[in-house]
């Protein structure tokens, strides 16, 4: 009885507190809106347009041109200025010498760390660890904020199913759910709970939307995405970012279904503002308003400005179509002042939320030092958890340091402090990088002889001149670790590739090393999934390290020598050959799904066989239908066994929550982390649904012999999708669920959603 009374009291108290909180939030929001409205009412048209204009910094200089534009209130934001004294001076001019004293947004691409460089975002995604990803973003925010940056152009949450696209490096891979969870974690990391707290910075979810589907992976290219696919796949991470409170979004360069994103009212108006209620602002991409005329959707800059502002682009990056034409458009009556007020209000809201009016200045001494021990530890842990073990024949790894007499370390990426950092690292410092070679030497100490041969000048070199020396070193060693991959410049913006094999003569290098007869361990650093079919049989172990950042070396050494087992899982499918692209796990079933029964390899078809005498299936005659490595895949030094999958109730009401559970057991002899994954399939729906969709994941550590019952809680919302009429629905019916260690998990159960 007493207990009941107590819980009743707690319940009432919680209702009271949440009403109080909501009331508190509401009054805060109302106060913010009042401040925005009051300021707007005092602004001239020119000042409003000024807020909508972002210019590039002048490399640490406060030029006369910049200063006078600031005094005249013609600039709302500056990007790429990271000299803190300059930033403070620019803020001072804006605040003290312009009529209204509106502080500046200082934007920067803080994509995977700042001075301390984390693994590329695609590598971070391999950790399947939102807590760690959040910490990384927090650390990057602190470092960037100490330079006066208050706005990052991250996270990049473009779902991409095309490893040819160079920007897949900046993304979180192929899956909308993983993207949503990790993207939201990054937003929380950058923004914290309160943007006004020093050291937090505004995030920018980009590129809205569809960019990752650029045709053939060529950057900036066309995308054609049916609306339900757009909503079910590409928009989902953006919705998650908006729900996490992201302050801003960036429009994509790409053309979406005939209307470039920068002029796309459906995206900016209907979806973002009307459906999702987004209150922040949208920035164009670099010159993407001007480029509307290059796309051929507008005839000139004036029309481009009209199209962009009408669609809902609040701020123009780098170009001046707003500055040059918005006044004229207002005078001609082609746009209304209410539209401009709405655009400016979005920007002011973010400036107020950042507390810039109260304190526009940065005092680095109040923020943690760059690249401090804690930051390096986060970078190391993230690099560690991003490493994916793809092959490990006869338990080649981990190497037993105690038994090694000598080790050959070969390859162009073994000791390259710059290349291991990856793409988009404006503020990274290669001199901080700990390379694999150094880390290996440190780990092994004096006792083991480490013989290093670079063998190739760069990852692209075609010369085989250095091979002989490398093979000699391999012959003289007990084992060979070869560091291959792509230099950082081969991925990232504009750096798409049509052939995603290891470039240059790296495959030949592997073949030559094979001849040494010594165990060959390949560590691949790259900005994208590569096709590794031509080396996979030539190596004893294969570790995929992405571009692992500042602390890549020690993380790799830890895995090579078994200080820590590998635990990363692939956030994107690795095709067997590039011609399979797009190939991804959450594909549709088709009417003729491929199977071992209907697949025939072209080598097995007799000459002049009749066309229809072979299986009917959706596959390639030469490459089959499976990738080399599937999404979610990654080996460990131990073995995990899955059993006893069950759903909390076989029949689930349309508004009931339920759990899917299974037992996972460490069946090996090493303590290790496993990323347990839950996949679901909706068997029959009003639009065809993927054969599997990731619906949950958990990273957990198990000791040898230890087991754990892992439980995922779902509700009908988690099973919802956009159907034929483009509304979000959950349909009754049967669903399959799998729990396992990759997207090819086969431990399955079935449940039914019913109208009770
Ligand atoms: C990229 C954006 C980036 C911007 C500013 C553009 O080229 O597409 O992602 O934020 O430049 O550097």
Opening angle at CA 563, ends 557 and 564, nearest 5 = 95
Say yes or no: CB of residue 286 within 6 Å of ligand 1.
yes
Ligand 1 pocket test target in 79, 153, 221, 426 with most atoms within 8 Å of CB: 153
Decide: helix, strand or coil at residue 637. Answer: coil
> Which residue has the CA at smallest separation from atom 8 of ligand 1?
285
> Which residue has the CA at smallest separation from atom 12 of ligand 1?
109
Opening angle at CA 53, ends 201 and 286, nearest 5 = 75
CA of 520 to the centre of ligand 1 (A): 40
Which ligand 1 atom sits nearest the alpha carbon of residue 80? 12
Which ligand 1 atom sits nearest the alpha carbon of residue 153? 10
Relative to beta strand 693-702, strand 53-56 is unpaired
Ligand 1 pocket test target in 210, 286, 289, 316 with most atoms within 8 Å of CB: 286
Say yes or no: CB of residue 682 within 6 Å of ligand 1.
no
Rounded distance between C-alpha atoms, residue 569 and residue 571, angstroms:
6
Say yes or no: CB of residue 158 within 6 Å of ligand 1.
no
Opening angle at CA 152, ends 146 and 154, nearest 5 = 140
Q: Which residues of the chain have pLDDT under 50?
A: 1-17
Instruction: Identify the bridge partners of residue 674 per DSSP, sorted by sequence position.
Output: 700
Which ligand 1 atom sits nearest the alpha carbon of residue 170? 9
Give me the helix-helix angle, 552-560 and 373-386, nearest 10°: 50
> Which residue has the CA at smallest separation from atom 10 of ligand 1?
153
pLDDT given for residue 595 in this prediction: 96
Ligand 1 pocket test target in 57, 109, 157 with most atoms within 8 Å of CB: 109
User: Catalytic pick from 175, 285, 415, 558?
Assistant: 285
Say yes or no: CB of residue 220 within 6 Å of ligand 1.
no
CA of 493 to the centre of ligand 1 (A): 8
Say yes or no: CB of residue 206 within 6 Å of ligand 1.
yes
Instruction: Identify the bridge partners of residue 680 per DSSP, sorted by sequence position.
Output: 693, 737
Opening angle at CA 135, ends 132 and 138, nearest 5 = 155
Assess whether 162 carries a catalytic annotation.
no
Please name which of 77, 61, 163 lies closest in space to residue 122, comparing C-alpha atoms: 163
CA of 153 to the centre of ligand 1 (A): 7
CA of 22 to the centre of ligand 1 (A): 37
Please name which of 692, 745, 427 lies closest in space to residue 584, comparing C-alpha atoms: 692
Say yes or no: CB of residue 165 within 6 Å of ligand 1.
no
Ligand 1 pocket test target in 285, 291, 318, 424 with most atoms within 8 Å of CB: 285
DSSP conformation class of 87: H
pTM, whole model, 2 decimals?
A: 0.96
Angstrom distances, CA of residue 718 to CA of 572, 618, 749: 22, 29, 17
Rounded distance between C-alpha atoms, residue 437 and residue 454, angstroms:
11
Rounded distance between C-alpha atoms, residue 615 and residue 597, angstroms:
7
CA of 632 to the centre of ligand 1 (A): 29
Say yes or no: CB of residue 415 within 6 Å of ligand 1.
no
Structure-token pair, residue 115: 């001075």
Structure-token pair, residue 305: 């400005």
Rounded distance between C-alpha atoms, residue 521 and residue 137, angstroms:
32
CA of 286 to the centre of ligand 1 (A): 6
Say yes or no: CB of residue 416 within 6 Å of ligand 1.
no
Using a 10 angstrom Cβ sphere, with 0-12 exposed, 13-18 middle and 19 or more buried, the burial of residue 210 is: buried
CA of 211 to the centre of ligand 1 (A): 12
Decide: helix, strand or coil at residue 481. Answer: strand
Rounded distance between C-alpha atoms, residue 674 and residue 163, angstroms:
25
pLDDT given for residue 398 in this prediction: 98
Say yes or no: CB of residue 170 within 6 Å of ligand 1.
no
Which ligand 1 atom sits nearest the alpha carbon of residue 253? 8
Cβ atoms of 208 and 252 within 8 Å: the answer is yes
Say yes or no: CB of residue 493 within 6 Å of ligand 1.
yes
Query: CA-CA-CA-CA torsion for 121, 226, 222, 486, nearest 10 degrees?
Result: 30
> Residue for token digits 């080396």?
535
CA of 368 to the centre of ligand 1 (A): 27
């Amino acid at each position: 009885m007493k207990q009941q009374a107590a819980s009743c009291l707690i319940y009432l108290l919680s209702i009271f507190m949440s009403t109080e909180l909501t009331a508190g939030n509401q009054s805060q929001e109302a106060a913010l809106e009042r401040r925005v409205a009051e300021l707007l009412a005092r602004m001239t048209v020119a000042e409003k347009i000024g807020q909508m204009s972002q210019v590039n910094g002048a490399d640490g200089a406060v030029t006369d041109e910049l200063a006078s534009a600031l005094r005249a209130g013609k600039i709302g934001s500056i990007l790429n200025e990271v000299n803190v004294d300059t930033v403070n001076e620019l803020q001072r001019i804006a605040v003290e010498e312009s009529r209204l004293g509106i502080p500046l947004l200082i934007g920067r691409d803080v994509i995977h760390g700042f001075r301390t460089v984390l693994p590329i975002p695609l590598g971070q995604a391999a950790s399947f660890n939102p807590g760690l990803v959040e910490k990384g973003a927090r650390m990057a925010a602190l470092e960037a904020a100490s330079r006066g940056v208050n706005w990052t152009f991250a996270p990049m949450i473009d779902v991409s199913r095309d490893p040819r696209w160079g920007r897949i490096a900046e993304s979180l891979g192929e899956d909308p759910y993983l993207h949503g969870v990790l993207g939201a974690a990054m937003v929380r990391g950058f923004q914290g709970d309160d943007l006004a707290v020093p050291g937090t910075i505004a995030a920018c979810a980009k590129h809205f939307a569809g960019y990752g589907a650029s045709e053939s992976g060529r950057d900036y290219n066309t995308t054609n995405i049916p609306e339900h696919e757009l909503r079910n796949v590409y928009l989902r991470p953006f919705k998650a970012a908006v729900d996490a409170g992201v302050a801003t979004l960036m429009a994509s360069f790409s053309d979406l279904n005939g209307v470039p994103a920068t002029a796309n009212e459906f995206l900016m108006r209907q979806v973002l503002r009307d459906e999702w209620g987004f209150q922040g602002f949208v920035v164009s991409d670099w010159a993407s308003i001007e480029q509307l005329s290059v796309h051929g959707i507008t005839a000139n800059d004036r029309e481009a400005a009209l199209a962009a502002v009408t669609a809902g682009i609040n701020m123009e990056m780098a170009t001046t179509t707003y500055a040059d034409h918005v006044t004229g458009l207002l005078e001609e009556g082609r746009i209304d002042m209410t539209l401009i007020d709405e655009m400016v209000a979005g920007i002011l809201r973010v400036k107020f939320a950042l507390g810039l009016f109260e304190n526009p200045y940065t005092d680095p001494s109040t923020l943690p030092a760059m690249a401090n021990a804690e930051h390096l530890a986060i970078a190391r842990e993230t690099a560690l958890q991003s490493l994916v073990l793809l092959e490990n024949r006869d338990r080649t790894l981990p190497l037993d340091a105690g038994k090694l007499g000598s080790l050959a370390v070969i390859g162009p990426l073994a000791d390259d402090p710059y290349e291991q950092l990856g793409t988009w690292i404006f503020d990274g410092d290669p001199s901080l990088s700990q390379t694999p070679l150094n880390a290996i030497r440190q780990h092994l100490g004096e006792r083991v002889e480490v013989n290093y041969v670079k063998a190739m000048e760069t990852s692209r070199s075609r010369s085989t001149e250095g091979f002989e020396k490398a093979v000699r070193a391999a012959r003289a060693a007990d084992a060979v670790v070869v560091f291959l991959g792509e230099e950082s410049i081969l991925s990232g913006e504009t750096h798409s590739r049509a052939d995603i094999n290891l470039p240059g003569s790296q495959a030949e290098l592997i073949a030559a090393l094979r001849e040494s007869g010594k165990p060959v361990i390949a560590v691949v650093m790259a900005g994208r999934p590569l096709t590794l079919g031509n080396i996979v049989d030539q190596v004893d172990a294969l570790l995929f390290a992405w571009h692992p950042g500042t602390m890549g070396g020690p993380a790799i050494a830890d895995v090579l020598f078994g200080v820590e087992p590998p635990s990363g899982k692939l956030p994107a499918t690795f095709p067997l050959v590039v011609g399979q692209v797009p190939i991804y796990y959450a594909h549709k079933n088709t009417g003729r799904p491929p199977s071992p029964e209907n697949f025939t390899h072209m080598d097995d078809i007799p000459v002049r066989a009749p066309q229809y005498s072979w299986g009917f299936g959706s596959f390639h005659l030469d490459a089959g239908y499976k990738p080399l490595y599937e999404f979610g895949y990654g080996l460990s030094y131990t073995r995990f066994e899955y059993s006893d999958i069950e759903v909390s109730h076989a029949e689930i009401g349309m508004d009931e929550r339920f759990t899917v559970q299974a037992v996972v057991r460490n069946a090996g002899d090493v303590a290790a982390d496993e990323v347990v994954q839950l996949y679901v399939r909706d068997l029959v729906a009003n639009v065809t649904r993927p054969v599997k969709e990731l619906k949950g994941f958990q990273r957990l550590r198990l000791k040898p012999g230890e087991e754990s019952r892992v439980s995922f809680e779902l509700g009908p919302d988690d099973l919802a999708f956009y159907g034929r009429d483009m509304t979000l629905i959950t349909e009754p019916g049967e669903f399959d669920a799998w729990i396992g260690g990759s997207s090819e998990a086969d431990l399955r159960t079935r449940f039914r959603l019913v109208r009770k």
